[in-house]
Structure 1
Amino acid sequence: MFFLKFVIKNIFRHRLRSILTIVGVAVAVLAYGLLRTLVGLWYAGVDRASDTRLITRNSISLIFPLPVSYLERIRGVPGVKKVAYGSWFGGIYIDEKHFFANYAVEPKSYLELYPEFVLPEKEKSAFLMDRKACIVGNRLAKTYGWKIGDLVTLKGTIYPGQWEFVVRGIYHGADRTTEERVLLFHWDYLNEAVRQTAAGRADQVGFYIIGVTSPAVAPDVAVAVDALFKNSLAETLTETERAFNLGFVSMTEAIMVAIQIVSYMVIAIIMVVAANTMAMTARERLGEYATMKTLGFTAPHIGGIIFGESVAISLAGGILGVVLTFPAAHWIEVELAQYFPFFSVSRETILLEMLAALTVGVVSGIFPTWRGSTIRIAAGLKRIG
């Protein structure tokens, strides 16, 4: 308790310096936590992928289509429970700034394979019965103020023209990690229009989604599906939903690595600043430490006071940074919902933030502690006056 009082009094001897150091550590910890959360969210789609869903696409690239006639042959593969199909539409609403995912899908089987899209039965029935209908996620509907019965017009890019859809349902995610910024409409509606304008592109899909009976049979089903179409004009590549999502994430892996490096650099920079602050403090008090030694204080006593002050300042900044992380994450989730459907700070991130703050305190306190505890009495007393 005696040493704790010493540490607290020393912290407030230079209030402005201590406050600025605490704020600096807090900002660094806050930045570290938010950047780490961003990286984690980038991989969230991989983590929440289903073990019982496979994705089949063209083996060359996703941009190349597959015949819709593959459907029945895939259904006949042992271990396959249900099959859906669809195509990336890539339509633009208003302009390119208002981007959101939009797909043409076979509606009934697609919704059965994605139970995380929770849709009231009445709205689901209305969607299935109306070929011109679409369903949208709750966040997307709130962004643009869409209601049931509203008309939504998308400008086609892959499929040119003005495409009109009637909102027949607004789905909610089964949990907060479910993407709620998606528009889904009937693949048949797209195919009929394409058949009239570009017959050569009709009866083709971008991907198949395969629901398997259990995760254990997924590898065998993937091999069997690809074997069906080997040496055909459109060979397939079938992989788990996790592997499929990971393929997209890997395209931006260099960016994620760069963000992680920046987060570590932020901590390293504040570590240097804190170390300089503590070294300055110790240098100013060398005379005091020499006096304390003459009064009977040992090197461990003096070292403990200096080291404790460094750790206390850093932990205070860490706690402040953790506290600020939650309102900052909430602001990002609300104001940048278009880019971050959810921005949740995990318990692991909080622990790492506190560990980072503790590391700053320990590292920045090593040199001042050594210098203060090893000062010779005569050399220290020369600094007095």
Structure 2
Amino acid sequence: MFLLKLILRNALRHKLRTALTVLGLTIAVLAYGLLHTVVDAWYAGASAASNARLVTRNAISLVFPLPLAYENRIRGVDGVTIVARSNWFGGVYRDPKNFFAQFAVSDNYLDLYPEFILSEQARADYQRDRKGCLIGRQLADQFGFKVGDVIPLKGTIYPGTFDFVVRGIMEGRDESTITRQLIFHWEYLNETIRKTTKRQVDQVGVYVVGIKDPDDAATVSRNIDTVFKNSLAETLTETEQAFQLGFVAMSNQIIAAIRVVSYVVILIIMAVMANAMAMSARERTTEYATLKALGFGSAFLSMLVFGESVAICTIGGGIGILATPPVAEIFKHATGGVFPVFMVSHETMLLQGACALVVALAAAIVPAVQASRVRIVEGLRAIG
């Protein structure tokens, strides 16, 4: 109790210095948490992807489609349970800034995605309406869409303006499910472009393949690609997670830079904290010498220094950790929904706490050693 009282008094002796140090720690821990959350958000799509789903695309590039005739041949591969079509639409809603994912899909597409929750009535309404579409909850909240609304999309890949009627809103199974997309009938798109650009007819962007056993993903993928080996359009089949990570890999340098910046922030505040503790230790040389003269050992003095450092970092780090979730929510809305999933994970909070502890211990090492080595005669020489 006596030691704790001394630690708190030492920490609050220079209130302005302590307040500024705590503020710096709060900002550093908060910034680290936000940067780490940005990285998590970047990987959200890949993290939510399933290894029980495969994606078959053109082996040359995703830009080149596959023939519709491949569907039945893929379905005939051992281990395949269901095959769905998906074409990236790439339409513009009013302004190019209003970007969101749009897919033309076959009617069995949702059977592969149990994480999208939709009422039977909404699904039936959607299947009855050729111009019907389904939108995710995040997309509906962002633009204020509701059932019955007409969403006009100007085609970029497929020429013309398409008017889709919202027939249902897909809810996410949990907060990590990305529901910022629109899906509509692949058949409607195919019939429409048959009248305008016949060369795009009966072409599929990717096939989403359901398999019996996720452990057989590699074998089934290899067997699918073997079927189309040496054909005019060879295929590349991989798990949905690997497919999503392929997009993330394009931004690897950006992600690496964000990670580096997050740790640089911690290193900077570590230097600031070390300087503050060194100043405190120098100012208390006489006090440390007096305590030694009264019989307190070097270990006690080291504990004083470490305790003060830990106390300051606990306060600053704690405030930073508690502030991260609400600030992350503000950041999410301020960025206009750039990140559909932007949640502060428990892992991020643990890393924030670990960083604060590392700063506390690292900053106190040198001052603690100096305090423990103070000689009584030299420390008391300045008295009088």
After TM superposition, the runs of 4+ consecutive aligned structure 1 residues lying more than 6 A away are: none
Q: Is the contact made by 2:44 and 2:341 (CA closer than 8 Å) also made in structure 1?
A: no
Q: Is the contact made by 1:286 and 1:383 (CA closer than 8 Å) also made in structure 2?
A: no
State the match for 1:17 in structure 2: 17
State the match for 1:100 in structure 2: 100
Q: Secondary structure at the match of 1:303?
A: helix
State the match for 2:82 in structure 1: 82
Indicate the larger mover: 109-118 or 290-299. Answer: 290-299
Q: Partners of 1:221 and 1:337 in 2: how far apart?
A: 40
Question: Normalized against structure 2, the TM-score is what?
Answer: 0.97
State the match for 2:204 in structure 1: 205
Q: Partners of 1:383 and 1:153 in 2: how far apart?
A: 82
Question: Normalized against structure 1, the TM-score is what?
Answer: 0.96
State the match for 1:281 in structure 2: 280
Q: Is the contact made by 1:91 and 1:155 (CA closer than 8 Å) also made in structure 2?
A: yes
Q: Partners of 1:142 and 1:319 in 2: how far apart?
A: 32
State the match for 1:40 in structure 2: 40
State the match for 2:51 in structure 1: 51
AA partner of residue 258 (structure 2): I
Q: Partners of 1:120 and 1:332 in 2: how far apart?
A: 32
Q: Partners of 1:43 and 1:201 in 2: how far apart?
A: 32
**How far apart are 1:337 and its partner, in Å?**
5.7
Show CA shifts across 1:133-164 (max 9, x none): 11111121122222211111111111122111
Matched, 1:365 2:364: yes
Q: Secondary structure at the match of 2:237?
A: strand
Show CA shifts across 1:178-216 (max 9, x none): 111101011111112211111112110100001111113
Q: Is the contact made by 2:45 and 2:178 (CA closer than 8 Å) also made in structure 1?
A: no
Indicate the larger mover: 146-155 or 44-53. Answer: 44-53
Q: Is the contact made by 1:306 and 1:368 (CA closer than 8 Å) also made in structure 2?
A: yes
State the match for 1:382 in structure 2: 381
State the match for 2:292 in structure 1: 293
Gaps of 5+ in 2: none
AA partner of residue 6 (structure 1): L
Q: Secondary structure at the match of 1:197?
A: coil
Q: Partners of 2:209 and 2:245 in 1: how far apart?
A: 18
Q: Partners of 1:189 and 1:298 in 2: how far apart?
A: 83
Show CA shifts across 1:98-143 (max 9, x none): 110001111x210111121111111111111111111111121122
- RMSD (CA atoms): 1.4
Write out aligned runs for 1:172-187 (5 A): 172-187=171-186
AA partner of residue 228 (structure 2): F
**How far apart are 1:297 and its partner, in Å?**
2.1
Q: Partners of 2:375 and 2:65 in 1: how far apart?
A: 80
AA partner of residue 166 (structure 1): V
Q: Partners of 1:152 and 1:126 in 2: how far apart?
A: 16
Q: Partners of 2:336 and 2:82 in 1: how far apart?
A: 33
Q: Partners of 1:216 and 1:359 in 2: how far apart?
A: 41
Aligned residues: 384
State the match for 2:68 in structure 1: 68
Q: Partners of 2:209 and 2:336 in 1: how far apart?
A: 30
**How far apart are 1:335 and its partner, in Å?**
4.1
State the match for 2:318 in structure 1: 319
**How far apart are 1:294 and its partner, in Å?**
2.1
Show CA shifts across 1:76-112 (max 9, x none): 1111111001110111111111110001111x21011
Q: Partners of 1:332 and 1:342 in 2: how far apart?
A: 12
Q: Is the contact made by 1:332 and 1:340 (CA closer than 8 Å) also made in structure 2?
A: no
State the match for 1:170 in structure 2: 169
Q: Partners of 1:367 and 1:276 in 2: how far apart?
A: 10
Q: Secondary structure at the match of 1:148?
A: coil
Gaps of 5+ in 1: none
Q: Partners of 1:276 and 1:367 in 2: how far apart?
A: 10
State the match for 1:5 in structure 2: 5
Show CA shifts across 1:300-335 (max 9, x none): 222211221111111111111111112112323444
Q: Is the contact made by 1:290 and 1:376 (CA closer than 8 Å) also made in structure 2?
A: yes
Show CA shifts across 1:241-277 (max 9, x none): 1111111111111111111111111100000000001
Write out aligned runs for 1:126-275 (5 A): 126-275=125-274
Q: What percentage of aligned pairs have identical amino acids?
A: 53
Q: Secondary structure at the match of 1:242?
A: helix
